[in-house]
Amino acid sequence: MQTEGYPLYFFLIIAALGLIFFIWRPQYNFWFSLFYFSVRELRTAAFTRIEGFGPYLNLDDFVLIILVISLIRISYKRGIKIPNLVIWLSICFIVSLLTIGINYSFIYEVQREHKFALYFILGIFFGYNFVLKEKDFEIFLKILFIGSFIASIQYLLFAQEKIELYGTRNIETIRSVGFMALIPIFIITSIFIKIKWLSTIKIKLIYFSGLSMMVVNIILSQTRSIYISIILTVFLIYLFHKEFKVKSGLIFLIIVPFIVYIIFDQYFKFININELIFGRMQLLSDSPSTDVTTIGRAYAIKYEIAAFLKSNIIFGNGLGFTYFIPEGRSEYISWGHIGHIAYLARLGLLGFIIYSIYIPFTALKYLVKTETNKLKYGYTKIFIIFATALIINDWISFWMSASYLGIGAFLSGTVIGTVWALKDKKIKLAEFSVEIAKNDLP
C-alpha cells in the first residue's frame, strides 16, 4: 500500500516554530526536534516533500536543517565542542561515501542509508552540546516519553486500519516501523524506576498509560528480537547496577499487564494475544527451520561475510552496496539484520570497532562506574538507567537485528551524545545530601 505523507502545511508550521525559537530561544529547537523525531511516523515523514526542493528534502531533513542553524547561532554566544566520537564516525561516513562513489553510484537507496548514518552523527553532536545542566535531563526524558506515548497511539490506529483492510487472519500485516526508536528502552527502564521518583498523581497516570500503550505496541509488532533483548537487558542492568532492584518496578509489573488486557479486550478482541506473543517464537525451535525470517538472515550472513572478505577489509564496501550485487534486491534475503556482520560488510573493521566495540563499551564503562547511590533521586538517576538500557539493548540487537543506523538513529544519537557530555565532565550531577532530601520532601 502506497504511503502518504503528512499534509504539506506541516512544512509551514515547522518553519514558523523554528523561526520563532531561532529568534527567541534557539535551545528550544533542540527540544522541538526531539519531540518531532519521537512522535513522527517514519514513512509518513519521509513522503512529506515540497516539489520545489526536489525528491530528496523531506520533513525529517527540514527539522535538522533548522536545528543546525540554531546551533550556529548558539555558537556565537558559547563555544561548541566536537567530541572525538563524532570525528571518528564522520571518518567512517566520508570513507563510505568515497567507496560508493568510486565503485558504484549514489542512487536513492544509497542516499537513504547514508542519511540514517548522518542522523546518528548529528544526534550525538546535538546531544553533546545542547544538554548542559541537570534540569535538562528532566526535559529530555519527558519529551521523549510523551513523544513515544503519542507514537504508540498512532501505531494502534495504524493496526486497527490494517485489521479493517486485511482482517485478523494475516496478523503480520499489522507490523510497522512505528514500534522502533525508544519504546523498548522506556519499557526496560520502567522496571527499575521507583514510583516515588514520580512526583504527582498526574505524572504517574501519564506514566502508566504511556507504558501500557508502548507494551501493546511491542506485542503487535511481533518482533522477537525486541522480546529477547528486553529480557536480557533487564537481567544485565540488574547485574551491573546492584542498587537498581527489579522490585522497584513491581507496580509496573502488576498494573500495566492489566491495562494491556483491557486494551486488547476492547479494541483487538478477535486477536489471540498468546499466539501473537509466542507464535513466532515457536518458529525458532523448528528443525530444519521453516521460518522465512530466520532463513533470510542466514543467507544474509553468508553473502555479507563473503562481501566483507572481498572488500578492503579496513573500510568495507560502503553503506548501500547491496543494491549493486546480484543478490542485493532479493526479497528472500534480510540484508543488514545481523548487526555485527552488517557493519563489517559495510564499514569494514574501522566501522565495526567504532560501532560494535568502542561506543558500547566506553559508554557502559562510564555509566556503570557512576555511583548512582550518591545521586539525587529523580530524572538524573532515571537518565543513567535509561542510557544504560539503550546501550545494552542496542548491543544485543547487533546480534539479531540492525542497530544504530536504523530508523531511530537520531534519537539514539542524542542519548549517546549526552552520555559523552557527562563522560567528558561537562555536566556536574547533583549528589544526594541531607539538605537535598529535606527540599525534596512534600
User: In this predicted structure, which of 375-389, 391-405, 406-420 has the lowest mean pLDDT?
Assistant: 391-405
Of 80, 112, 142, the residue at which a domain comes to its end is 80
- Which comes out higher in pLDDT, residue 436 or 244? 244
pLDDT attached to residue 349: 92
Same domain, 273 and 196: yes
Per-residue pLDDT averaged across 13-22, rounded?
85
55: cis peptide before it, omega within 30°?
no
For a pLDDT cut of 90, what percent of the chain falls above it?
12
CB of 162 closer than 8 Å to CB of 123:
no
> Of 30, 46, 80, which residue sits at a domain end?
80
Shared domain check, 122 and 44: no
pLDDT for res 438: 44
In a domain, 373, yes or no: yes
3-state class percentages of the chain: helix first, strand second, coil last, to nearest 5: 70, 0, 25
User: Percentage of the chain surpassing pLDDT 70?
Assistant: 74
Distances (CA, A) of 168 to 223, 260, 282: 18, 19, 20
Mean pLDDT computed over 125-131? 89
Residues 387, 274 share a domain: yes
- Residue 159 within a domain: yes
Mean pLDDT, range 14-23, rounded to an integer: 85
Residues 195, 246 within the same domain: yes
Question: What pLDDT, on a 0 to 100 scale, did the predictor assign at position 437?
Answer: 43
**Mean of pLDDT values over 34-59:** 75
User: Do residues 344 and 417 share a domain?
Assistant: yes
Asked whether residue 99 is domain-assigned, the answer is yes
- Determine, yes or no, domain membership for 345: yes
Cα–Cα distance, 260 to 251 (Å, whole number):
14
Q: Which of 53, 80, 107 is the last residue of a domain?
A: 80
Q: Is residue 124 part of a domain?
A: yes
Residue 52 lies in a domain: yes
- Going by pLDDT thresholds of 50, 70 and 90, the confidence category of residue 292 is low
* Backbone φ, ψ for residue 303 (5° rounding): -75, -35
Establish if 119 belongs to a structural domain. Answer: yes
With respect to residue 332, please indicate whether it lies within any of the assigned structural domains. no
pLDDT at residue 98 in the model = 92
- Domain shared by 122 and 55, yes or no: no
Q: Determine phi and psi for 71, rounding to 5 degrees.
A: -65, -35
Q: Is 427's pLDDT higher than 70?
A: no
> Coil, strand or helix: which one is 379?
helix
| Beta-carbon count within 10 A of 361 CB | 12
**pLDDT tens digits for 66-79?**
888 888 888 777 77
Give yes or no for residue 127 having a pLDDT over 50: yes
Confidence of residue 2 (pLDDT cuts 50, 70, 90): very low
The single residue listed with the C-alpha cell 527567541 is: 24
Verify that 50 and 188 share a domain, yes or no.
Answer: no
**Which range has the worst mean pLDDT, 201-205, 330-334, 379-383?**
330-334
Q: Long-range contacts of range 156-159, CB-CB < 8 Å, 24 or more positions apart?
A: 156/213, 156/216, 156/217, 156/220, 156/263, 156/267, 158/41, 159/220, 159/268
Domain shared by 66 and 127, yes or no: no
Task: Record the cell numbers describing residue 6, joined without a space.
Answer: 503528512
Task: Answer yes or no: do 56 and 190 share one domain.
Answer: no
Per-residue pLDDT tens digits for 135-179:
888 899 999 999 888 888 887 777 777 776 666 655 555 555 545
145 and 53, same domain (yes or no): no
Give me the pLDDT at residue 58, please: 81
Kindly state whether residues 130 and 214 are assigned to the same domain. yes
> What total of structural domains would you count in the chain?
2
Q: Which of 138, 219, 129 is nearest to 171 (CA)?
A: 219
Give 227-264 pLDDT, tens digit per residue: 888 888 888 888 877 666 655 566 666 777 777 777 77
Residue with cell string 561548541: 80
Phi first, then psi: give them for residue 375, nearest 5 degrees: -85, 150
Q: How many CB atoms lie within 10 A of CB 77?
A: 8
**pLDDT band at residue 418 using 50, 70 and 90 as cut-offs:** very high
Give me the mean pLDDT over the 308-318 stretch: 87
The pLDDT of residue 440: 44
Question: Residue 195 is part of which domain span?
Answer: 81-284+337-440
Are 163 and 175 within 8 A, CB to CB? no
Q: Are residues 49 and 192 in the same domain?
A: no
* Core vs surface per residue 296-327: b (16+ CB within 10 A) or e: bbebbbebbeebbeebeeebbbbbbbbbbbee
Q: How far is the CA of 192 from the CAs of 214, 231, 240, in angstroms?
A: 17, 13, 12
Point out which residues pair with 123 in neighbouring strands: none
